[in-house]
Amino acid sequence: MVRALAMATAASSLQLASARHVARPPASLRALPTTARPGASASASADNTTRRLALFHIGSVIPQAHLFGTKFHGLARAEGSSSVEAGTAGVVAQASTIVDQDCALDWAKKDRRRMLHVVYRVGDLDRTIKFYTECLGMKLLRKRDIPEEKYANAFLGYGPEDSHFVIELTYNYGVNKYDIGAGFGHFGIAVEDVSKAVELIKAKGGKVTREPGPVKGGKTVIAFIEDPDGYKFELIERGPTPEPLCQVMLRVGDLDRAINFYEKAFGMELLRKRDNPEYKYTIAMMGYGPEDKSAVLELTYNYGVTEYDKGNAYAQIAIGTDDVYKTAEAIRLNGGKITREPGPLPVINTKITACLDPDGWKSVFVDNIDFAKELE
């Protein structure tokens, strides 16, 4: 797992949360420090019959039950209470956990979430920018060099960051090659004419790995290309769309487990699921809106494969949220691993939290208001 870097400069939240190259331990592999939280201890019963989770928000302790609006989180046994009372405490605590999970799911569904950007590493930033703008028709939205941290990045996409899903490219000084691994699949781009898009890419010297034609087991016309670093892009033929950068495909070892996690912890909707027994794989499309109007996450399960090498090239997806604290607890309640506790980043004060899904894929949640301020 490639870890994220904390920086003392006023960079973007995604720059500060971006994973760094494995081969550069001095500066590029330091993990984001856990945000220091105000010194208040969580209360517990004498016999630990309840599980009190404390969150620290705006200088105060917020028990999990309070955070999600539950009225009772556990039953403390008074001194000298009977075993029957202890048993009752256990039942109530268990019931409370179920209530908390329901409240967390309700929160995740109501939260104003949107896929903001996807982060990955490249060996030559200018070369990749040239390919994406000339061959894929993207726009360079912004570019930033951070010499004190020995890296630079660029944001590209088909519209402004405040309303579109975009790409963040990261270049680490002196690193010209990365291992993409077997777990990352591809990015998807919607185009009105796949054949014309492929002709343009060939004319510009791009590599086409799958000529235009119907998708296996379907009718949609697609093609596959590779960028200069070996990242695959699927060109998908469809009508005009407000979100041309429309997919990120990741492979998972247990599709039902992954669907359950992204529904409950991330508040995504299962848009469709398709089994292809002839080719021994199943896919599930997850997202916050319909495929033809928003970016989605494509989860792919290949029969019998439960684990993948993730390499060190692909980093993470960033998602907007109204409350990183509640989001982190919802993720915990549904089996996710928090790798960066919720709280503000140094200097810029943008609140984020980072996590891993059950397959080890990383995501970063960014406070919506703070993110909007970064773009001003």
Burial label, 209 (beta-carbon count in 10 A; 0-12, 13-18, 19+): exposed
Q: Is 234 a catalytic residue?
A: yes
Q: Is 186 annotated as a binding residue?
A: yes
Assigned token pair, 180: 């993409």
Burial label, 123 (beta-carbon count in 10 A; 0-12, 13-18, 19+): middle
Q: Is 66 annotated as a binding residue?
A: no
Burial label, 91 (beta-carbon count in 10 A; 0-12, 13-18, 19+): exposed
Q: How far apart are CA 338 and CA 179, in angstroms?
A: 25
Residue where the block lists tokens 């291992």:
179
245-251 and 269-276 strand pairing: unpaired
Q: Is 168 annotated as a binding residue?
A: yes
Q: E strands of the chain, at which residues?
A: 54-57, 60-63, 114-121, 139-146, 151-157, 166-172, 184-191, 207-214, 221-226, 232-237, 245-251, 269-276, 281-287, 296-302, 314-321, 337-344, 351-356, 362-367
> How far are the Cα atoms of 68, 101, 283, 360 from residue 250, in angstroms, in the given order?
31, 26, 10, 11
Single out the residue of 159, 305, 125 nearest to residue 229, CA to CA. 125
Of the listed 79, 161, 199, 234, which one is catalytic?
234
Bridge partners for 224 per DSSP: 210, 234
153: left (phi over 0), alpha (psi -120 to 50) or beta: beta
* Residue ranges at the known binding site for Zn(2+): 168, 186, 234
* Residue ranges at the known binding site: 168, 186, 234
Task: Give the residue numbers marked as catalytic.
Answer: 234
